């Protein structure tokens, strides 16, 4: 019997299996509103013990990508209810991923009264897709003032409360892949000299304070966070290995003190064993491991001791019945990379089941 498909219980997290659907931006939310098509997509994948939604904006300034959903308005909050109901109907738990894109974005994707923001005025190299102007270079972000950072955190808290109202079992802060939270962690993107920059203790303040305040508002058992140690996604320049190591050691201990439900590690770069060990040593609650897993390697990861749960991204995207395929040892469909972010049902809700 696969451990993957057996129930999981630790602290407040009670899941029908060890299988997690990883957060994936799919850009089907026209006008940043969840819709019926998205509800159908998540309903198809409710074989997962835990579904983590696509990155969702906690505020106007967080809408850096085209057609990503928000959770800051009443209309958005209500529109998510069909999705949480669809997940729960299959016995899945569902967490909403709070994603503030920070400097990764473009005014053409943002509403008229929104601004591209970041810890500093350091822009990302590269280009981003916009529906109106095609690919565009990343502009220089507005550096958040101290007061504006407090506002951003407060917006995350309101968004988390909205998520609970919408029926979510909790929220995951997107602290990975080069978005706002990780922009604060990286000394090449965050060159602030106030309490949000400089030392490791200061650079980790943004995720720590955000998670503390969200936990105080909705309960720590309803809060998770995703990190991608050593990753360079979002044009993050690598920094000193020992500093990265200390950053995630410190975060693990601090988040353990808050008592959040889980820590989700996306392995998108080589992570030294000592950093895995420090994370496990510091954080006692659930650890989710993601990236590049197959049913076989996921099963091995569950036995090896670091991961309590395993998440699948592309395999869940292309295989709505991933749980059944794992159970029967069936082949997996491959994802169609041309329809990852295109509007409409093609490459979204039309992947075949067994
Ligand atoms: C289309 C697509 C969109 C993604 N969007 C997000 C996202 O919104 N938030 C996030 O944390 N990771 C995102 N990811 C990363 C996935 O969660 C996952 O880490 C990655 O796909 C590697 O896992 P896999 O090898 O199982 O696919 C995305 C990945 C894909 C393929």
Assign residue 162 a region (left: φ > 0; alpha: ψ between -120 and 50; beta: otherwise): alpha
Would you say residue 269 has pLDDT above 90? no
The neighbour count for residue 284, using CB atoms within 10 Å, is 13
Helix axes 241-258, 205-218, angle to 10 degrees: 20
Structural domain boundaries in the chain: 3-339
The neighbour count for residue 153, using CB atoms within 10 Å, is 18
pTM of the model: 0.98
- CA neighbor of 49 nearest in space, from 91, 99, 96: 91
Please give the Cα distance from 262 to 144 (Å, whole number): 28
- The CA 24 to ligand 1 mean position distance, Å, reads 5
- The CA 169 to ligand 1 mean position distance, Å, reads 20
Residue 31 DSSP symbol: G
Q: Which of 65, 179, 348, 351 is catalytic?
A: 179
CA terminus-to-terminus distance, the chain = 20
Residue nearest to atom 18 of ligand 1 (CA): 313
- CA neighbor of 132 nearest in space, from 110, 108, 114, 112: 108
Q: What are phi and psi of 64, to 5 degrees?
A: -65, -30
Residue nearest to atom 6 of ligand 1 (CA): 24
Q: What are phi and psi of 195, to 5 degrees?
A: -75, -5
| Residue 170: HSE in the Cβ half-sphere, 13 Å Cα cutoff | 24
| Residue reference for tokens 């978005």 | 179
Determine the residue of 23, 178, 264, 335 to mutate for testing ligand 1's pocket, defined as the one with the most ligand atoms within 8 A of the Cβ atom: 23
- The CA 115 to ligand 1 mean position distance, Å, reads 25
Q: Please list the helix, strand and coil fractions of the chain in percent, rounded to the nearest 5, in that order.
A: 40, 15, 45
**Protein residues whose CB sits closer than 6 Å to any atom of ligand 1:** 22-25, 54-55, 97, 99, 174, 176-177, 226, 266, 290-293, 312-315, 340
Would you say residue 50 has pLDDT above 60? yes
CA–CA distance from 212 to each of 17, 223, 224, 329 (Å)? 28, 10, 11, 42
In this prediction, residues 330-339 reach a mean pLDDT of 98
Assigned token pair, 180: 């706002």
Instruction: Write the pLDDT tens digit of every residue in 295-319.
Output: 999 999 999 999 999 999 999 999 9
State whether CATH 3.40.50.920 applies to domain 3-339. Answer: no
Q: Which atom of ligand 1 is nearest to the CA of 341?
A: 1
Q: What are phi and psi of 341, to 5 degrees?
A: -125, 15
Assigned token pair, 67: 């057609």
In this prediction, residues 185-212 reach a mean pLDDT of 98
Q: Which atom of ligand 1 is nearest to the CA of 226?
A: 11
Percentage of residues in the chain having pLDDT higher than 90 = 98
User: Catalytic site residue 179?
Assistant: yes
In this prediction, residues 313-326 reach a mean pLDDT of 98
Instruction: Write the pLDDT tens digit of every residue in 138-161.
Output: 999 999 999 999 999 999 999 999
Instruction: Write the pLDDT tens digit of every residue in 58-100.
Output: 999 999 999 999 999 999 999 999 999 999 999 999 999 999 9
Strand-strand pairing, 309-312 and 170-174: unpaired
Using pLDDT thresholds of 50, 70 and 90, give the confidence band for residue 271: very high
Query: Which residues, in sequence order, are CB contacts of 187 under 8 Å at separation 6+?
Result: 197, 203, 239, 243
Asked whether the beta carbons of 10 and 285 are under 8 A apart, the reply is yes
- CA neighbor of 282 nearest in space, from 304, 258, 300, 311: 258
């Amino acid at each position: 019997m696969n451990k993957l498909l057996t129930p999981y219980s630790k602290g407040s997290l009670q899941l029908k299996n060890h299988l997690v659907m990883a957060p994936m931006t799919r850009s089907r939310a026209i006008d940043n509103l969840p819709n019926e098509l998205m509800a159908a997509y998540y309903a198809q994948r409710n074989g997962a013990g835990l579904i983590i939604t696509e990155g969702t904006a906690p505020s106007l300034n967080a809408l850096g990508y085209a057609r990503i959903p928000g959770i800051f308005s009443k209309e958005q909050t209500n529109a998510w209810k069909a999705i949480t109901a669809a997940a729960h109907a299959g016995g899945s738990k569902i967490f909403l991923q709070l994603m503030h894109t920070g400097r990764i974005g473009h005014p053409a994707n943002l509403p008229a009264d929104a601004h591209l923001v970041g810890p500093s005025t350091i822009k990302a190299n590269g280009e981003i897709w916009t529906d109106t102007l095609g690919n565009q270079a990343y502009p220089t972000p507005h550096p958040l003032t101290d007061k504006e950072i407090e506002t951003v955190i407060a917006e995350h808290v309101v968004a988390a409360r909205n998520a609970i109202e919408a029926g979510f079992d909790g929220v995951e802060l997107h602290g990975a892949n080069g978005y706002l939270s990780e922009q604060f962690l990286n000394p090449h993107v965050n060159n602030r000299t106030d309490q949000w920059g400089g030392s490791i203790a200061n650079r980790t303040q943004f995720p720590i304070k955000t998670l503390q305040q969200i936990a105080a508002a909705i309960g720590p058992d309803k809060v998770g966070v995703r990190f991608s140690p050593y990753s360079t996604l979002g044009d993050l320049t690598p920094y000193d290995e020992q500093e990265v190591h200390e950053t995630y050691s410190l975060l693990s201990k601090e988040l353990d003190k808050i008592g959040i439900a889980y820590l989700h590690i996306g392995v998108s770069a080589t992570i030294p064993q000592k950093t895995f060990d420090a994370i496990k040593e510091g954080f006692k609650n659930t650890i989710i491991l993601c990236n590049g897993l197959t049913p076989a390697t996921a099963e091995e990861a569950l036995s090896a001791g670091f991961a309590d749960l395993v998440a699948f991204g592309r395999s869940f995207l292309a295989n709505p019945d991933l749980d059944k395929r794992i159970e029967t040892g069936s082949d997996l469909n491959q994802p169609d990379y041309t329809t990852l972010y295109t509007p409409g049902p093609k490459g979204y809700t039309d992947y075949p089941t067994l």
